[in-house]
Amino acid sequence: MSLDPCEPLLRVEDLSRNFGVHQVLVNVDLVLGRGDRVAICGPNGAGKTTILRCIAGTLAPTNGRIDVCGYPAGSIQSRRLTGISFSQERSFYLRLSGRDNLLFFAQLRGLKRRQAIEQVRAIEQELELQEILRQRVDRCSTGMVQQLALARALLDSPALLLLDEPTRSLDDHATARLWAALESRSTSGLLISTHRADDVARCHRQIHLGS
């Protein structure tokens, strides 16, 4: 899918999200360009995951507008251009191996089987996932499942990456491998939610939600 080089990867305008009478997001504005890395910070309940879900198109905003590469959030086009990983990810086939899960989701994104095999193999080497991809998902630890979810987000070289607390359950080695992979994708936009100062330090800027 060809992208307009003059169009921001992400444009959020006047975004608000209410849950009943509780306002979680209030008039948020954000623009993300190619290669930008932005951290979303704030206390628990400030709306860090909520804003990512609105951008991903899995949660409708109460007000405001979100465009991904010029396409409305949640559209088929925007979903194809976005790689997503949420904390405590559970949307895998538990009785399949990690490898079979990644192959399935790669083909779901439109890759031919040979392309899917090549991409999964490349990400396996990049993130050192050999043991995880051999295991059935129901036998994986929380940290292993999180690494699998991050690998899935990287499939098909998405223009925009939305990662919810990506290093939360990772050890130091896995964290270093992940950041090496993210930093090598110099034209992708990255938006992460995090509580970790070292993750924030790797980003170009940060936005704070909540008080």
Mean pLDDT score of the chain: 95
Q: Mean of the pLDDT values across residues 184-203?
A: 96
Residues whose CB is less than 8 angstroms from the CB of residue 57 and which lie 6 or more positions away in sequence, other chains included: 73, 74, 75, 78, 79
Q: Give yes or no for a contact between 64 and 13, defined as CB atoms under 8 angstroms apart.
A: yes
pLDDT value for 126: 98
Out of 81-85, 88-92, 189-193, which region has the weakest mean confidence (pLDDT)?
A: 88-92
Q: Give yes or no for a contact between 38 and 207, defined as CB atoms under 8 angstroms apart.
A: yes
Question: What domains appear along the chain, each with residue ranges and CATH number?
Answer: 10-91+142-208 (3.40.50.300)
88 — pLDDT class (breaks 50, 70, 90): confident
103 — pLDDT class (breaks 50, 70, 90): very high
pLDDT value for 210: 82
3 — pLDDT class (breaks 50, 70, 90): low
Indicate whether 90 pLDDT > 90. Answer: no
Query: 127-159: buried (b, 16+ CB within 10 Å) or exposed (e) per residue?
Result: bebeebbebebeebeeebbbbbbbbbbbbbebb
Indicate whether 199 pLDDT > 90. Answer: yes
pLDDT tens-digit map of 116-163: 999 999 999 999 999 999 999 999 999 999 999 999 999 999 999 999
189 — pLDDT class (breaks 50, 70, 90): very high
pLDDT value for 98: 98
Q: Largest Cα–Cα distance of the chain, in whole Å?
A: 50
- Residue 148: closest CA among 102, 95, 199, 194: 102
